[in-house]
C-alpha cells in the first residue's frame, strides 16, 4: 500500500510541477482557457450525471476554449486527471492520450476520462492538459471541481434490473429474493449466467462488487453494492 501511494504521489508531482515552471517561463501558457469540468454518463459529454454512485462507471469531462482567432496545433496531448479524497490523499491519477490535436480558432475542445469511483465520499477532481507525458509541458490551467460519491443502493421489484442483477422473485413469506445475473471467470466462454436466492444480510459476488440484500419491504428488494477488488471486464 505504501509503495502504491508513493507511485501516485510521484505521478502527481511529475504532472503538476511543470505547470508552475513552464507558466513562469512565459511560453504562451495557457494555450487553451476557460476550462469547465463535470461528471458525465457518456464519453462525448452529452449526459451530465446528477448523482454519482460508488462502483458505477462515469467519465470525468473537461472542456477548454481556444482564445486565438487562428487554429492552435497541440502535440502529443494528454488529458491528466487527479482525484483527491477528503483527507488529501490521491484516490486516482492517470492520463489519457489524445495524440496530436488541432483546435479551431475561438472553438471549444472536449476531453473525457473513464472513472469508476469505488468508495463513497467527498472528492476533489483536478484535470488539465499537458503536451508529452515523460517531460510534460502545460497546455491549460488546472480545472478543479468537487464530487460527492454516494453509496450504491438499488430498490427493485420483480422483473426489474439495475444492470448488475435482475430480481426474478420477491418472496415476502420467507423474506427472500431470487435474483439472476451475469458474471465473468477464466473458464470458457468466460461470461456465465446464474441465479441465487438471498435473505437480508446475504450477498453474491458479481464481478467487481458484492451485492448485499439489505431488506424486503412492500414487494421491493433493496440491495447495497460494495467493491470487492475484482474486475467487470471479461476475457475475450
Residue 132, domain CATH: 2.70.50.60
pLDDT at 1 over 80: no
Residue with cell 449466467: 193
Question: In terms of domains, do 126 and 75 share one?
Answer: yes
- What is the percent of the chain where pLDDT is above 90? 79
What average pLDDT is seen over the chain?
89
Parent domain of 65: 2-150
Q: How confident is the model at residue 236 (pLDDT cuts 50, 70, 90)?
A: low
Domain boundary among 123, 150, 177: 150
In a domain, 235, yes or no: no
pLDDT at 10 over 60: no
Give 50-107 pLDDT, tens digit per residue: 899 999 999 999 999 999 999 999 999 999 999 999 999 999 999 999 999 899 999 9
Question: In terms of domains, do 137 and 161 share one?
Answer: no
Question: In terms of domains, do 102 and 170 share one?
Answer: no
pLDDT at 143 over 70: yes
Note the pTM of the prediction, 2 decimals. 0.83
pLDDT of residue 20: 37
In a domain, 234, yes or no: no
DSSP string computed for the chain: -HHHHHHHHHHHHHHHHHHHHHHHTTSS--SBEEEEEEEESSTTS-SB-SSEETT--EEEEEEEE--SSS-EEEEEEEEEEEEEETTS-EEEEEEEEEEEEEE-TT-EEEEEEEE---S-EEEEEEEEEEE-SSS-EE-BPPEEEEEEEEPEEEEE-TT-B-SS-EEEEEETTTTEEEEEEEEE-SSTTSEEEEEEEE-TT-EEEETTEEEEEEEEETTEEEEEEEE-S--SPPP-
Q: How confident is the model at residue 27 (pLDDT cuts 50, 70, 90)?
A: low
Query: What's the domain count of the chain?
Result: 2
pLDDT (average), residues 113-142:
93
pLDDT (average), residues 5-10:
40
Measured in degrees and rounded to the nearest 5, phi and psi for residue 24 equal -70, -25
Question: In terms of domains, do 77 and 106 share one?
Answer: yes
In a domain, 236, yes or no: no
| Alpha-carbon gap, residue 202 to 181, rounded angstroms | 15
In a domain, 70, yes or no: yes
Q: How confident is the model at residue 132 (pLDDT cuts 50, 70, 90)?
A: confident
pLDDT (average), residues 176-202:
95
pLDDT of residue 234: 87
Domain boundary among 110, 135, 150: 150
Domain boundary among 150, 183, 198: 150
In a domain, 130, yes or no: yes
Question: In terms of domains, do 130 and 180 share one?
Answer: no
In a domain, 49, yes or no: yes
pLDDT of residue 104: 96
Give 163-184 pLDDT, tens digit per residue: 999 999 999 999 999 999 999 9
Question: In terms of domains, do 176 and 134 share one?
Answer: no
Measured in degrees and rounded to the nearest 5, phi and psi for residue 4 equal -65, -45
pLDDT (average), residues 22-50:
81
Amino acid at each position: 500500500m505504501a509503495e502504491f501511494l508513493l507511485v501516485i504521489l510521484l505521478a502527481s508531482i511529475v504532472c503538476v510541477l511543470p505547470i508552475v515552471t513552464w507558466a513562469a517561463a512565459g511560453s504562451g501558457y495557457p494555450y487553451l482557457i476557460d476550462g469547465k469540468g463535470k461528471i458525465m454518463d457518456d464519453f462525448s459529454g452529452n449526459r451530465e450525471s446528477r448523482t454519482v454512485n460508488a462502483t458505477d462507471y462515469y467519465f470525468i469531462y473537461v472542456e477548454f476554449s481556444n482564445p486565438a482567432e487562428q487554429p492552435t496545433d497541440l502535440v502529443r496531448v494528454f488529458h491528466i486527471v487527479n482525484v483527491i479524497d477528503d483527507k488529501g490523499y490521491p484516490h486516482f491519477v492517470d492520463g489519457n492520450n489524445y495524440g496530436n490535436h488541432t483546435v479551431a480558432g475561438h472553438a471549444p475542445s472536449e476531453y473525457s476520462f473513464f472513472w469508476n469511483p469505488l468508495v463513497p465520499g467527498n472528492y476533489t477532481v483536478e484535470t488539465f492538459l499537458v503536451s508529452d507525458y515523460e517531460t510534460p509541458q502545460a497546455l491549460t490551467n488546472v480545472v478543479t471541481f468537487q464530487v460527492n460519491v454516494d453509496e450504491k443502493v438499488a430498490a427493485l421489484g420483480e422483473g426489474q434490473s439495475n444492470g448488475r442483477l435482475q430480481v426474478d422473485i420477491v418472496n415476502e413469506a420467507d423474506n427472500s429474493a431470487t435474483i439472476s445475473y451475469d458474471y465473468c471467470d477464466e473458464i470458457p466462454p468466460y461470461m456465465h449466467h446464474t441465479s441465487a436466492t438471498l435473505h437480508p444480510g446475504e450477498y453474491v459476488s458479481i464481478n467487481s462488487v458484492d451485492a448485499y440484500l439489505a431488506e424486503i419491504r412492500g414487494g421491493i428488494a433493496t440491495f447495497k453494492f460494495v467493491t470487492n477488488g475484482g474486475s467487470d471486464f471479461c476475457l475475450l
